[in-house]
Amino acid sequence: NAGVTQTPKFRVLKTGQSMTLLCAQDMNHEYMYWYRQDPGMGLRLIHYSVGEGTTAKGEVPDGYNVSRLKKQNFLLGLESAAPSQTSVYFCASSSWGQGTQTQYFGPGTRLLVL
Amino acid sequence: EDKVVQSPLSLVVHEGDTVTLNCSYEVTNFRSLLWYKQEKKAPTFLFMLTSSGIEKKSGRLSSILDKKELFSILNITATQTGDSAIYLCAVERTGNQFYFGTGTSLTVIP
């Protein structure tokens, strides 16, 4: 049971390049999330998914797209990377228990956009 | 606007001290409040609180929620160097959204 995994761990992009971050979970969780973490800003929700084939915008969705084609995977895409997207990206998944959810986080992807 | 505010932003204590971390929130349609510990990488779950006045305890850590005054505290007694980390507070609202505070950075000096 690997929990939540993310690939890649680290990536450097040039402005305008595109890339996809992959998140995978093996806990059969319905809900999956993408966050970014910046110094002094805490974790901010980019997009989330409440089930296979569904996605929704979070707090800071601009410049990102997501897809949830399979229940265990949640992809985060940057179509045209900008320096402002330099950040650490965390994926999380969760399930219901006792009327609420507990999130489990992946190890993070550090992205540098030059 | 929904927000979660943690205080203090940072804290330096000596081993054996007791610390109290604060989290206040203004979030519509509150469902639960969660505490996480973040060391070098991903946040790890500590507590989930849904009801006022009921203390959750795990070893030297404990937490309580006040839904009337909209805050929670996380206490750590007899601190150890391994407690050094960023402690994050998050509030879950209906609609499957989580709002995080900026965290409190705790440093425990031997």
Residue B22: CATH number of its domain: 2.60.40.10
- A83 φ, ψ (degrees, to nearest 5): -55, -30
Residue B86, domain extent: 3-104
Residue type, B90: A
pLDDT above 90 (res A99): no
Q: How confident is the model at residue A96 (pLDDT cuts 50, 70, 90)?
A: confident
The total number of structural domains in chain B stands at: 1
Q: How confident is the model at residue A1 (pLDDT cuts 50, 70, 90)?
A: low
B50 domain residue, yes or no: yes
Cα B85 to Cα A114: distance, rounded to the nearest angstrom: 29
Cα B21 to Cα B16: distance, rounded to the nearest angstrom: 16
The total number of structural domains in chain A stands at: 1
- Look at A24 and A96; give whichever has higher pLDDT: A24
B83 domain residue, yes or no: yes
Cα A53 to Cα B33: distance, rounded to the nearest angstrom: 28
Q: Are A68 and A51 in contact (CB under 8 A)?
A: yes
Chain A residue with the nearest C-alpha to that of B105: A40
Predicted confidence at residue A2, as pLDDT, reads 75
**Nearest CB to B96 within list A31, A44, A106:** A31
Chain A residue with the nearest C-alpha to that of B93: A100
Q: What is the DSSP letter of B82?
A: G
B24 domain residue, yes or no: yes
Q: What is the CATH number of the domain that holds A67?
A: 2.60.40.10
Residue A28, domain extent: 4-113
- Which residue ranges in chain B fall short of pLDDT 70? none
Q: Residue A91: its chain B contacts at CB < 8 A?
A: none
pLDDT per position as a tens digit, A21-79:
999 999 999 999 999 999 877 899 999 999 999 999 998 999 999 999 999 999 999 99
Q: Residue B104: its chain A contacts at CB < 8 A?
A: none
Predicted confidence at residue B75, as pLDDT, reads 98
Q: Are B35 and B47 in contact (CB under 8 A)?
A: yes
B65 domain residue, yes or no: yes
B35 domain residue, yes or no: yes
Q: Work out the minimum CA distance from A69 to partner chain B, whole angstroms.
A: 19
Q: Work out the minimum CA distance from A107 to partner chain B, whole angstroms.
A: 5
